[in-house]
Structure 1
Amino acid sequence: MSENEGTSETGGGSPVPPLLVVDGANVVGSVPDGWWRDRRGAAERLRDRLVAYAESGLPGRPGPLDVVLVVEGAARGVPSVPGVRVDPAPGSGDDRIVELVADAAHRPRLVITADRELRHRVTRLGAEVAGPRTVRS
């Protein structure tokens, strides 16, 4: 997604915001702040921080953004909130992220992760990637 890429349009002309997919386990695990004692709570705090990005966007990526937080394991029970859809991966979070990116080929996609293999998989599908610091504030 370049700076001048905003929303794309569907066949009906309706604007479709860029997709921001966040690798919850990877982003939460990128800071040793005790998240392992409360994985669900850590995922909820991340989800709540992501709400601001849905409207305002990220540096160089103006909003609105369609924000999806992919969670796995103990964080699967975290509910969605307005602005952030929480997607509980039925198996591998990485596999679910790849599915989401593949299914959204009609619009710009940005995946937030530091996982090298996942970065490789989604860039092959045309998505851009950024590291966890992009959404850690």
Structure 2
Amino acid sequence: MGLCCQCGTQIEPNPANMCVACLRAQVDISEGIPKQAVLHFCRQCERYLQPPSCWLKAALESRELLAVCLKKVKGINKEVRLVDAGFIWTEPHSKRLKVKMTIQKEVMNGAVLQQVFIVEFVVHNQMCEDCHRVEAKDYWRACVQIRQK
């Protein structure tokens, strides 16, 4: 048995020489990961925008929608590993989706720290191009360049 270098409680020896509570207080592994993001939704065809410009039909709290949400979250890479993700129930009319994520990261001399946090997605309405063409019956798109000598 060893002692934590911060608070002095008895711990099993580990690479950081700290107890879990002190290690969590010192290091925030979710730093750099946004806690809020925007999802675009077309009300006509009920599809979600999957970047860059693909519209995907997905039911609420489905695997497809979870995949779209996770692609919107930046900051998950080789250093910060996603362990688990799932939806937290919200009112369907609230225009909010909450995803509970569990991530892992190696910190301080090889100690692996795991953290759970919530990312909130705000659903904004945006008409997709297909529905926009149907809505505006005679619709033209042009790019004009005027040059002068």
Structure with bigger gyration radius: 2
Give the TM-score taking structure 1 as reference length: 0.29
Give the TM-score taking structure 2 as reference length: 0.27
More strand by share: 2
**Structure with bigger RCO (C-alpha 8 Å, 6+ apart):** 1
